[in-house]
Amino acid sequence: MWQPSAKREALLARQTLNQTIRQFFAERDVLEVETPYLSQAAVCDPNIEPMQTNDVRYLHTSPEYAMKRLLCAGMGDIFEIARVFRRGEAGRRHNPEFSMLEWYRVGWDHQQLMLEVADITLAMLAPRYPSLPVVKLTYADAMQTYAKLDVRQASDEEVARAGIGLAGQDLDLNRDGWLDVIMSHAVEPTLPANTLVFIEDFPASQAALAKVSADDSGWPVARRFELYFNGAELANGYHELTDAAEQRRRFSAEAQGRPVDENLLAALAHGMPECAGVAMGLDRLLMMVLGTDNIADVLAFDWSRA
């Protein structure tokens, strides 16, 4: 097991990818930053579990909180290429330690950011896919088209029934849990192939730190998007919530006993500029560039060899 899990070709593709990213943002005057990997506070997301060190610091699960503090301090447009850590996330497309590209655009909304995400993704995938179609769907339309579910109208029971059918058993989940089952089992695998697919306007209950507002039909949606390509999720972006009181409320609702990042809350109270932000999984992108379905192929040493 001393040997690498990636071939030299994959290491070279990573170097090319990093160069593409740095050049892309240099041309757009977006500042590259480095933030701490080890933090006194942990992530609040209930579905992400951080790793903890002996001296009670947490390895970050994304550079989001530190980058938002930079935004509050007036640093302007910023990007970071960071190694991030998530306990238990191991599988064919997951490694508990992985590379993330995250960036923020001050004064933009998620619609503008989606255009830029498409541009940089096309640049990153260009070595394998010289051109690709880009489509945009709302969450409700994607559910309707690929899972025959009307999420605006469906009752919790109807959502659960559809989810149980796909899971093969009752997993005792709430509405959002069952929607995740439907999304991952029925929608993701059947999205159009060889196409950058943006899904936007998630249910308000899945807002995390995105703004919430009503869509054209009056249904409350999170101003959030995800980018899918050939069945894999590549990026997750937000029109960022800037209301400090609302942020504190969402944080404490989801903290689950972990220490809330008071530095972040203080920064948000000081004021975060209107902005849009997105995180991208670079290892997944490399998998697409190299045409492999195993994340180990793009890592010098995967989790089992690390």
Partner 1 sequence: MLENEPCSIIENEYVKPGKGQAFNRVKLRNLRNGRVLEKTFKSGDSLEGADVMEYDMEYLYSDGEFWHFMATDGSFEQHGASEEALGDTIKWLKEQEVYVVTLFNGAVLTVAPPNFVELEVVETDPGLKGDTANGGNKPATLTTGAVVKVPLFINIGDKLRVDTRSGEYVSRA
Residues making contact with partner 1 (CB under 8 A): 45, 47-48, 88-94, 166-169, 171, 173, 176-177, 179-181, 183-185, 188, 206, 208, 226, 233, 236
Phi, psi dihedrals of residue 44, rounded to the nearest 5°? -100, -15
The nearest distance, CB 21 to partner 1, in angstroms, is 21
The nearest distance, CB 167 to partner 1, in angstroms, is 4
- What is d(CA 11, CA 289) in angstroms, rounded to the nearest whole number? 12
The nearest distance, CB 185 to partner 1, in angstroms, is 7
Compare residues 169 and 194 and give the one whose CB is closer to partner 1: 169
For residue 95 the two structure tokens come to 């490694």
The nearest distance, CB 171 to partner 1, in angstroms, is 5
Compare residues 168 and 218 and give the one whose CB is closer to partner 1: 168
For residue 137 the two structure tokens come to 């769907």
Do 33 and 67 touch, CB atoms closer than 8 A?
yes
Compare residues 47 and 252 and give the one whose CB is closer to partner 1: 47
Grouping H, G, I as helix, E, B as strand and the rest as coil, residue 201 is strand
For residue 214 the two structure tokens come to 């009503």
Compare residues 173 and 290 and give the one whose CB is closer to partner 1: 173
Residue 93's nearest CA partner among 297, 262, 242 is 297
Do 31 and 56 touch, CB atoms closer than 8 A?
no
Compare residues 77 and 176 and give the one whose CB is closer to partner 1: 176
Give the neighbor-by-neighbor strand order of the sheet with 51-52: 38-39, 58-59, 51-52
What is the 3-state secondary structure of 67-90?
Answer: HHHHHHCCCCCEEEEEEEECCCCC
- Report the Cα 280 to chain-centroid distance in Å: 6
The nearest distance, CB 236 to partner 1, in angstroms, is 5
Compare residues 4 and 177 and give the one whose CB is closer to partner 1: 177
The nearest distance, CB 262 to partner 1, in angstroms, is 22
Compare residues 25 and 163 and give the one whose CB is closer to partner 1: 163
Compare residues 23 and 174 and give the one whose CB is closer to partner 1: 174
User: Tell me, what DSSP letter sits at residue 150?
Assistant: -
Scan for tokens 């179609």, then name that residue: 133
Query: What are the helix and strand counts (H, E) for the chain?
Result: 9, 12
The nearest distance, CB 287 to partner 1, in angstroms, is 15
- What is d(CA 275, CA 85) in angstroms, rounded to the nearest whole number? 25
The nearest distance, CB 25 to partner 1, in angstroms, is 24
Phi, psi dihedrals of residue 43, rounded to the nearest 5°? -65, 150
